[in-house]
Structures are given as structure tokens and as C-alpha cells.
Amino acid sequence: MASSNIGAIYRLFPIETFTPDSSAVVIDVTDLFVSDDERLSPLDKYSQHTLSGRLKRKETFEKEKSYVTGIKAFSDNVSVCSSLNYRVTISERGLRDVPVTVSATRSILLLDSLPARPRLTDSRIAIFPTGKMLYSPTTQGARPVWYAHRWRLEPSDPEAYRRGEVVDPVKPIVFYIDRNFPRTWLPYIFEGVNQWSELFEEIGFRNAVQARLFPEDDPEFDPDNLKYSCVRYAPVTIQNAMGPSWTDPRSGQIVSASVYLYHDVIELINNWLFVQTSPADPRVRQKQIPQQIIGDALRYVLSHEIGHCLGFMHNMGASAVIPVDSLRSPSFTRQTGTTLSIMDYARFNYVAQPGDFERGVRMTPPRFGVYDRFLVKWNYTPLFVESPEEEYLLTSEWLREASAHPALRYGKQQFSELLDPRSLSEDLGDDHVRASEYGIANLKYVLAHLNAWTESDDPDYTYRKAIYNGIVNQYFTYLNHVYADVGGVYLYEKHVGDSVEHYRSVPRERQMRALEFLLDQLDDMRWLDDRSVTDNLGLVASAADAVCEAVMKAVVAAPSKVGLSAALAAGDAFTPQACMSLIYDRIWAPTQRREALNLSQIKRQRLFLEMLGTVAGLRAEGDSKSLAAMRQIEVPAAFRADRDLFSPASAECPNPVAGYGEPLPLFYEAPPMEGLAYDCVLRIRRLLEAQRNHPDLQTRLHYRALLHTIETCLK
């Protein structure tokens, strides 16, 4: 194995000197820490400044202005701090050759000589994995295996533990809390860490997860020492938080993990609470939301990030099994909250309606869900067996048993195409149309009351502008939840003996209902253009027009989007032809009834024809392939959010265990859409020719203009 897998030489350093007995040497590694090495770059290509990679950034390293600022040596690691200088250009932001100095700290850690015993995991549970390739004489070919990321948590009294007693761990998981946090944050930060001990106590560990302030009287403590896990305060305007961890690559053992809370995560929480819950919760109908509400939301944010630090991934399917109307039930929400796992991207209760809060409906995610309990049990329960393989016989059986319970399903994060509508970000409930109807009703309520709720403490309209942008983005979120049902395929992680099927196409009726919902929205977007609000927000034209165009693009792409689902359907499939027919009938229904058209209908018909012509190859502009493959409604740049709490660091799929990449179905060839689109253009031409002389002037001129466009393109 050693001969067949030769390690790469990363960097060469000349030996400067030897000790007298030649037992140690000295090398000068300054250049390693003061150089432009992409693998050590402190500049994240998916950073907020590049809108998560959408903007192109060019940086030029200035070595002559860079230097090592400090070195700290600890018992098993070395921390090197460097001041690195760059010239940065982001043309789209108007930044050209701007000097940027970065203080970067890199650590080199000495691992234990003997690694911890790994726990084998697989694709059926939301545990971060480290991949290895197994070469075994008992298997005909090498195969991948996955080690679960987990702390080394062992009972201090194994015999008492085996008798069912609750014991202290040999070494608890401790997070040290930065003293620089605003004082009002600290109680919620402590609670967000300590609450995880509740779940560990259920599996027999007392005080397994602890929060402690940075010690002031311990000379050995240093937050730069990688062996101390910390919760750090970052006083910058990024609206985010993150919880990375560092693992032993030989075993998956977590050796260190830290949470970073950026200051303006508070602003993001404020905006979310206002946009999503103010219709139901009178307490948040103000710019300055009460500290207790903000603090509890901050606790939830931190507890989610601590979950990552414990080895837990996102479970995007945790809210999909909850009946939508249960989210308006006081008893249900008090017990369950909005999701079955705080590792979901389930936000606040946007389903709750005015009056529900007074009835006792809960507006926030739960403290923990049933899936969080399952994660802790699966990853941290000690199993007194001889080998990882024997452990896996037990833990795999737990997963097999869990497959019979929808509440314990792992919904992978979809890093590329959104194929499974049950594993979406920021959705609630088991019915996207129903949940979105509630959510949109709330958005209309917020917009109608925005001035009254904020006028007294928003003199320059800054807050209202942020909330208005949040309303538009939330509307797009709801539309995308529904659009995911169109052409969707339910995916299941299945091993032999599991009580699930590998996949199932979204039923035809559900897809049709989703598409009809989107078409209905085209008739009901003018509420976005509330001039009593937008006239004071600067140069705001028509959000409704921008949203309408984005939805029309998605609608025209829908026949292509349903192709895979139709090919996989076991029964009555929603085919591309049926999809196109439904769209045609809805868009041209007023024309078929010989009615006079309003301006919204005229715009919609023109957009439909233009985009249809692109797919049919009749129009040179645009990219018909990308349009035909559209799997989500694209947010126009004017409304695109420059933030996303808990967002993945990369759009790339990390591995097949952690998340879905772009689906690669075997033996499926996407049906060509050009002919279907061309046939639809000819149908439109025949329809318009019959009404060339419509009695309504506006409608008649519109039809003649469309006919001219068609004839020009067909020449």
C-alpha cells in the first residue's frame, strides 16, 4: 500500500542547521506562511464580497508588504500569524486595485500517535463523513468506506455506564466563549451550547457539552491554541454564522471545532422575524424587536452551529413530514415547533396567521427535534464491541429500523439541481402550495402595514428598504418551493432491507397543482408594487414585472423540467406534452374566450412567446439550453440577497454521502424541446390569425404585433 500510494512533495526547504547530535534540524518556513498559495489562501472565492462566487474577484499578492507577525508554540501545535497584503479588483462592485491587508492565522497540529477507533457511517444519516478506500481480500475490488465525524467521548466509569447509570465523560466537549461578545448576547450563547447536554444525558453522559468563558486566570489558555474549541465574536457587518471543525483524517475524530458569530447576524435575525412572523406575532411589529425574542433566535442560530461542530450535517427533509395546518396548532407547535431537527434550514413559522399567536401557536423552531435525538444516539452511544465492523452491524440496524419512520428520514442537501422537493432550504410543511399560500398572505399583510409599524423609528426609510427587499426575496423563496414540485422526484437512501423505495416521481396531480399555482401568481403580483411604500425607497420601478418575467422563464422551462420525472413515473405521468398544454391553455385562455386583454395579460403573452421562441430556436438571443434546463426560479440581480445564514461554503457536492450532486440518471436522455415549442408557436399563430381584427383596439394591436413577430421569426 505504501509503495502504491506515494505522498506528494508539497514544498522543499533547505536545512539551515543541525543540533550537535543531528537528532533535529532547523528549516526556515517563513515563505510557506508569507506566500500566495491557493491552498492556504485566506480569500474565500465564495465569500460575501463575491456574492457567494457570483462576482469575479481578481487578487494580486504583494509579497514585499507581507510578513510573519507572530508565532505561538503549544504542547502539540504551532500557530503562525501572518500579515498578507493584496490588491483586489471586483469590477461589478466598482472596486479596482484596492489594497487589502489580511491577518491570517494557520496552525500545524501534531495528531495522537494512535488514532481513535472510527465509527463507520453511510448515506442514510446526516453525519459529516471522512472518506477512505478499503482494500480487502474478502471483497472483489476496492470500495469506499466513510468514517463519521465525532468527538472522542468515553464514559469515566464504563461499568456504571453499562449498568444504565448516567456518568461523566472522561473528557467533556468544551466550548470557550469569547468575552468580547455584547453582554446582552452572552446568556443566549451559553444556552445555545449547554442545551446539547440534554441530548447527551439521554444516552448516559452527564455534562457532556459545556460552555465556559475565556479564562482570565489560566496562563495556559490561548484561543489561538487549536486544541481549544471556541465561540468567537467577529465585529464585522457580515450577516452570517458558521461552525467549522477539524478532524483527524485517519479516523474522523473531531479534534477541534469553533463557531464564529458575525455581528450583523442580529440584523438578519431581525429581518427574518419581521418578514416571516410579524403578521401573527404583534411583539415583532417594530424595528427594534424585543431583546428576549432576538436573543432566543440567536440561541437557535448558535445551537445549529454547535450541531455542526458535533459532526451533524443539514437535514433538509426534517420539516417535510409536518402537516402544514399543524403549524397553526397551539398544541402541536408547542411540542414540535416548525421542524423535526434544528439542523434543518427551517426558519420561523411563516404559516401562522394573524390571531394564531394569541391562541398559543409557537413561532420558532424547536429546542430539539426527534431527528436531533437520533443523531446524538447514533453517533455518540458507546458500543462495547471489538471492531468498527461490529459496531456498524449495530448502527446499520438502527438505520434500517429508522427507515420505517418518516420522521427519521435524512433529506440530503441538494448542492446542484433541486430534484427532491422534500429536501429544500427554508420550507415548512408537507404541502408547498398550501404553505406558500399562507406565507404569501402574510407577506401582503406585512407590506400593507409596513409604514404604520416602522414610521416612528425609521426616519430615513433604511429599515423599510431592507424589509421590502426581504419581502420580495421571501416571495421568490415560496415560489421556488412550489416550483420544485414540478418535475420533482422523491429520493430515498436505501440499503437492502430498508422500508423505503429508491425513488418515486411526484404525483401528476401534485405537479399540475404546483404549476397552476405559479400561473395563478402571474395574475396576482401587483401587490408587490405598493407605491405607498416603494415611492420612498429610491428608484424602485416594478418588482411585479421583474418577478413576472422570472416566473415566466421558469414556466416555459417546465416541460423540459418534467422529463425525468415522467420517465421514472410508475403510473400516470405528467409528460412534457401535458405540461406544455396546461401552460398554453392558461396563458391563452382569454384569447380563446375572445376577451379584451388587460396590460398584465398582454405582457404575459408576449413574454411567453418570446421565451418559447428561444426554446424553439427561432430567436437568436438567449440560451435555449439553459432556459430549457431551468430547475429553479432565478432571482433578478436587483433583489438577490447578499446573505444566506448557514449557507454552504461551496456549491460543489462534497461527496455522495453528504449531499446530492447533479443527478445522473442511467439510460435517460432528455427529450428535445425544440419541436414541442415550435408546435406551440404554430398553435399561437393560428389562434391569433383568427382574432387579427379583435374589436378591442389595445388587444387587436397586441395580436398583430405578435403575428408580425412570429412571421419574422419563421422566415
Q: Is the pLDDT of residue 430 over 80?
A: yes
Cβ 70 vs Cβ 222: under 8 Å: no
Per-residue model confidence as pLDDT tens digits over 134-153: 888 888 888 899 999 999 99
For residues 383 and 395, what is the distance between their CA atoms, to the nearest angstrom? 9
pLDDT score at 406: 95
Question: What is the residue whose three cell numbers read 444556552?
Answer: 191
pLDDT at 435: 98
- The pLDDT assigned to 662 comes to 61
pLDDT for the residue numbered 581: 96
* CB contact at 8 A, 624 and 617: yes
**Could you write out the DSSP letters of every residue in 174-236?**
EEEEPTTS-TTTHHHHHHHHHTHHHHHHHTTBSS-EEEEEPPSS-TT--TTSTTSEEEEEE-S
What is the predicted pLDDT for the residue at 655?
66
Give the number of other CB atoms < 10 A from CB of residue 459. 8
Mean pLDDT for the stretch of residues 331-360 = 96
Confidence of residue 107 (pLDDT cuts 50, 70, 90): very high
CB under 8 Å to 452, separation ≥6 — which residues? none
Mean pLDDT calculated for residue range 396-425: 92
Give the span between the Cα atoms of 606 and 614, in whole angstroms: 13
Percent of the chain with pLDDT over 70: 94
Spell out the residues 6+ positions from residue 157 whose beta carbon is closer than 8 angstroms to its own.
165, 167
Neighbours of 398 (CB within 10 A): 15
- Count of CB atoms within 10 A of residue 230's CB? 19
Mean pLDDT of 22-33: 92
Q: In degrees, to the nearest 5, what angle opens at C-alpha 658 toward C-alphas 652 and 663?
A: 60
Of 127-136, 189-198, 312-321, which range is least confident?
127-136
Task: Read off the DSSP letter of residue 423.
Answer: S
Which pLDDT does position 649 carry in this prediction? 34
d(CA 463, CA 479): 24
- The Cβ of residue 438 has, within 10 Å, a number of other Cβ atoms equal to 24
Angle between helices 388-402 and 370-380 (to 10 degrees): 160
> In the prediction, which pLDDT does 88 show?
93
Give 539 or 653, the one with higher predicted confidence.
539
Determine the pLDDT at residue 642: 44
**pLDDT given at position 92:** 84
Rounded CA-CA distance 301/192 in Å is 8
pLDDT of res. 644: 37
Amino acid at 639: F
d(CA 365, CA 351): 13
pLDDT at 624: 53
Residue 134 pairs in a beta bridge with 143
Three-state DSSP string of 461-510: CHHHHHHHHHHHHHHHHHHHHHHCCCCCEEECCCCCCCCCCCEEECCHHH
Rounded Cα distance, 429 and 325, in Å? 8
Count CB-CB contacts under 10 A for residue 201. Answer: 15
Nine-digit cell string for 37: 498559495
pLDDT in tens, 681-694: 999 999 999 999 99
Give mean pLDDT, residues 374-394.
96
Which amino acid, one-letter code, is at 205?
F
Residue 641 φ then ψ, to 5°: -70, 135
Decide if pLDDT at 276 tops 80: yes
Pairing of strands 67-73, 77-90: antiparallel
Rounded to whole angstroms, the Cα distance separating 678 from 676 reads 5
Q: Cα 316 from chain centroid? A: 8
For 266-300, the DSSP string reads HHHHHHHHHHHHTTT-GGG-SSS--HHHHHHHHHH
CA distance 259 to 207: 20
Mean pLDDT to the nearest integer, 95-109: 93
Helix 291-309 and helix 186-194, axial crossing angle in degrees, nearest 10: 40
pLDDT band at 292 (very low <50, low <70, confident <90, very high): very high
Q: Which residues contact 128 (CB under 8 A, 6 or more apart)?
A: 148, 149, 245, 247, 308, 311, 312, 313, 658
Average pLDDT over residues 384-390: 95
Residue 396 clears pLDDT 50, i.e. is over it: yes
Report whether pLDDT(591) > 60: yes
pLDDT average, residue stretch 130-134: 90
Q: Which residues pair with 167 in a beta bridge?
A: 205
Q: Give dist(CA 518, CA 486) in Å, integer.
A: 10
- CB atoms under 10 Å from CB of 661, counted, come to 16
Q: Give ∠ CA 114-118-123 in degrees, rounded to 5.
A: 155
pTM equals: 0.92
Give the C-alpha separation, 342 to 615, whole Å: 42
Over range 667-684, report the average pLDDT. 90
Q: Within 10 Å of residue 33's Cβ, how many Cβ atoms?
A: 20
**pLDDT of 648 strictly over 60:** no
Q: Cα-Cα-Cα-Cα dihedral of 392, 396, 397, 401, to 10°?
A: 160
> What's the CA gap between 418 and 660, in Å, rounded?
9
Q: Which residue has the higher pLDDT, 443 or 137?
A: 443
Number of helices (H) and strands (E) in the chain: give both, helices first: 22, 20
Burial-class residue 46 by CB neighbours within 10 Å (0-12, 13-18, 19+).
middle
pLDDT, residue 650, reads 35
- The pLDDT of 614-628, averaged and rounded, is 65
Q: Comparing C-alpha atoms, which of 464, 511, 471, 509 is closest to residue 489? A: 511
pLDDT of residue 628: 58
Strand, helix or coil for residue 97: strand
pLDDT of 44 reads 83
What is the mean pLDDT of the segment spanning 328-337?
96
Task: Locate all alpha helices (DSSP H) within 370-431, ordered by sequence.
Answer: 370-380, 388-402
The yes-or-no verdict on residue 48 having pLDDT over 80 is: no
Please give the average per-residue pLDDT across 565-573, as a whole number: 92
The three-point CA angle 195-200-201 to 5° equals 95
**Residue that the C-alpha cell 444566506 belongs to:** 644
pLDDT band at 213 (very low <50, low <70, confident <90, very high): very high
Q: What burial letters (b/e) apply to 405-419, b meaning 16+ CB within 10 Å?
A: eebbbbbbbbbeebb
Taking alpha carbons only, the member of 412, 376, 378, 416 closest to residue 398 is 378
* Confidence bin at 295 (pLDDT 50/70/90): very high
The pLDDT mean for the chain works out to 91
Round to whole Å and give the CA distance between 309 and 194: 13
- 551: which 3 cell numbers? 416566473
How does pLDDT run across 156-185, given as a tens digit for each residue? 999 999 999 999 999 999 999 999 999 999
Containing 702, the helix (H) or strand (E) segment is helix 697-714
Band of the pLDDT at 46, cuts 50, 70, 90?
confident
CA pair distance 420, 408, nearest whole angstrom:
17
Three cell numbers, residue 493: 437512501
Residue with cell 431583546: 291
**For the packed helices 599-615 and 543-561, what is the interaxial angle rounded to 10 degrees?**
40
Dihedral sign (CA 414, 419, 425, 431): negative
